[in-house]
Structure 1
Amino acid sequence: MPILELLSRAEKLKQAISIITDDIDHHLLALAPSADLDNYKKFLTLQYAYQLELKGLYEHAGLHQYIDNLHDRTRLSLIKQDLDDLKHPLPNHHQQPCRFQNADFAYVLGWLYVIEGSQFSAATLGKQVEAELKLNNQRGARYLAKASEYSKDCQLSHLIDNLELCEQQQATLIKGAEQALQRFKFYQAQFY
């Protein structure tokens, strides 16, 4: 039996996007967001612009059917507080927010998986920021604390594994995750 057949759907999704996820993680780590406050502010600015575009994701009716606390999962206000703590202005953001309202459920689930599942090594970065910059969940690193909390959350992987999805929906799930990562790379190029 091929190894791919032994993987759960969430594991297959993780594997399908692993190259681009690793690329993003390596790029971010090379930029050393925890090395100094200027680098960290760039990181927060990138996250703010990306999360601002995703506001509509947390309002998707289909996702609300499966995830009770979806509105509470947005971290935009936390990034805003972190930037305010550091006396850094919000970025000028000219991109239109993504339109998720009428998007396919599997597609937006793929986006949410990327946003919450991978979190771009949030737990590790949070520890580094606390150790090196002396920021924490009370000042300057609220976003990382919350991101780390959700990266440990198995609810989303469990949901992905237990939904009934046809082959086309599974492909759409992967496409959504890939699009989310590509969009992050777009912002990464703008801010770094």
Structure 2
Amino acid sequence: MTLHTQAGLISVLRQCTHAAHERLDHRMTALNLFSSHERYTVFLAVQYLFHRDIADLYARADVAALVPDIASRNRLALIEQDMQDLCVPYPMVRRNPPVAGSVSAAIGWLYVAEGSKLGAAVLAKRVQDMGLTVKFGARHFAPDAQGRAHAWQSFKAAIDHANLDTSVCVRHAGTAFERVTQYLERCEPYLQAA
């Protein structure tokens, strides 16, 4: 059921996941993940786990029918390069792909991943203080080829008034935020020595 014809799906997703997003942001800020290389490696591990889980969503034909450039938006390979740059071992955590059978469910997960790119400009500046750049250690913060704003606006335009089930999108976006939070909690013990 499409319920977002007035406001647009992105606006509904933003409003309905605001609390989960705020909780995650506050937790990440409290952990000071951009204060040292050691703490940043924990951030990278969390990014890797989440993007490894959702990588298949970027290859789906039904998603590409809505967002034609979706395959090029996948950041997993860049995160892996960042980990290799900094000699970060891959976490020994089993891959847990989302149960995103419908395109609406897939878009809920991708909303979280694509939305995180908007904050990447700020984070890229923070890691520069550690000597990291979009060519070394922080590749996954690089903007898409046509720029962050354009990439977000094109994603928004593609899904805002598509025939998607809003409640399914919202539920899966909420689950995606929870997944990132869970990975952060799982990796948090590694910060004790950092």
| TM-score, L = length of structure 2 | 0.85
Q: Which residue of 2 aligns with 1:144?
A: 141
Which residue matches 1:156?
155
Q: CA RMSD in A?
A: 2.3
* Structure with more helix by fraction: 1
| SS in structure 2 of the partner of residue 81 of structure 1 | helix
CA distance in 2, matches of 1:146, 1:186: 26
Deviation (angstroms), 1:156: 1.6
Report how many aligned residue pairs link the two structures.
Answer: 183
| Corresponding position of 1:114 | 112
Residues 160, 13 of structure 1: CA spacing in aligned structure 2 closer, same or farther, 3 A cutoff? same
Q: Which amino acid aligns with 1:109?
A: I
Identity in percent = 28
**What secondary structure, in the 3-state scheme, does the structure 2 residue paired with 1:154 have?**
helix
Structure 2 residues not aligned, in runs of 5+:
189-194
Structure 2 CA distance for partners of 1:117 and 1:98, relative to 1, 3 Å: same
- Supply the AA of the counterpart residue of 2:111: Y
Say which structure, 1 or 2, has more relative contact order (CA 8 Å, 6+ apart). 2
Answering whether residue 173 of structure 2 is matched by residue 174 of structure 1, we say: no
Aligned letter for 2:121?
A
Q: Distance in 2 between matches of 1:66 and 1:22?
A: 28
- Structure 1 residues 11 and 104: alpha-carbon distance in aligned structure 2, compared to 1, 3 A threshold: same
Give the 5 Å matches for 1:1-192. 7-100=7-100, 103-119=101-117, 121-130=119-128, 132-146=129-143, 149-150=147-148, 153-165=152-164, 169-192=165-188
> 1:27 and 1:188 mapped to 2: Cα distance?
9
Whether the 8 Å CA contact 1:117–1:156 is kept in 2: the answer is no
- Contact kept, 8 Å, 2:54 with 2:109, in 1: the verdict is no
SS in 2 for 1:106: helix
- CA distance in structure 2 between the aligned counterparts of 1:141 and 1:25, rounded to whole angstroms: 19
CA contact (8 A) 1:33 1:43 kept: yes
The 8 Å contact of residues 25 and 120 in structure 1, kept in 2 or not, is answered as no
The alpha-carbon deviation at position 150 of structure 1 amounts to: 4.6
CA distance in 2, matches of 1:44, 1:146: 17
Deviation at 1:179, TM superposition (A): 1.2
Instruction: Return the offset for 1:28.
Output: 0.8
With the length of structure 1 as denominator, give the TM-score of the two structures. Answer: 0.86
Q: Residue deviations 1:60-96, cap 9 Å, x none?
A: 2210112222221111111111111112222222233
Which amino acid letter does the alignment assign opposite residue 33 of structure 1? L
User: Structure 1 stretches (4+) deviating beyond 4 angstroms?
Assistant: 149-152
